[in-house]
Amino acid sequence: MLIRLSSLSALQAAAAAIAAAALGACQPDQDAQADLEAANLEKAIYCMELLEKHHDLETADRECFGETYIQHTPWLPDGKEAVLEVFASRLERNPEKTIEIKRVAADGDLVWIHLHSKQNAEDALGIAVVNIFRMQDGKFVEHWNVVQAVPEESANNNTMF
């Protein structure tokens, strides 16, 4: 419904102007949101590669994890120390471990990374992993993941990637 301001009283016109300004202010700045999501994606990919490809746990400790790190993986406690211990132990057992990032996405402060992980050259199938991170100030502060073995046979002709 279009209301002409000339038909409103001065008080109604002022209220309408304030309401319109407030509605405009409540709209998210799409450019800022897109910039935040792009920055979060870039940082999450950088951190995942530090951890999984370059095995640079010291840099990852400094640059990738917030002071608070909430963990949703049921067998890990909260805190970055537990995650870094897992990566250190994994590196000792499987120094040839590889990952290939297949796709990424971001929505606000959440980032998804879908990857294919193999323990070593003999691990022909590997596992499919989806990591979901909540980012704050460019650092991981919360984590969820889903891990699934890649099967030898599938009921369809699609791959997991």
pLDDT reported for residue 29: 80
Mean pLDDT, all residues of the chain? 88
**pLDDT greater than 90 at residue 30:** no
Structure letter (DSSP) for residue 71? E
pLDDT for 32-86, tens place per residue?
999 999 999 999 999 999 999 999 999 999 999 999 999 999 999 999 999 999 9
- Please report, rounded to a whole number, the percentage of residues in the chain having pLDDT higher than 90: 81
DSSP 81-150: HHHHHHHHHHHHH-TT-EEEEEEEEEETTEEEEEEEEESSTT-SS-EEEEEEEEEETTEEEEEEEEEEEP
CATH no. of 30-149: 3.10.450.50
pLDDT of residue 108 exceeding 90: yes
pLDDT at 1 over 50: no
Of residues 105, 103, 158, 96, the one with CA closest to residue 126 = 96
Residue 11 has pLDDT above 80, yes or no: no
**Would the pLDDT of 24 be above 60?**
no
20 pLDDT higher than 90: no
Crossing angle for the helix pair 80-93 and 57-64, nearest 10 degrees? 160
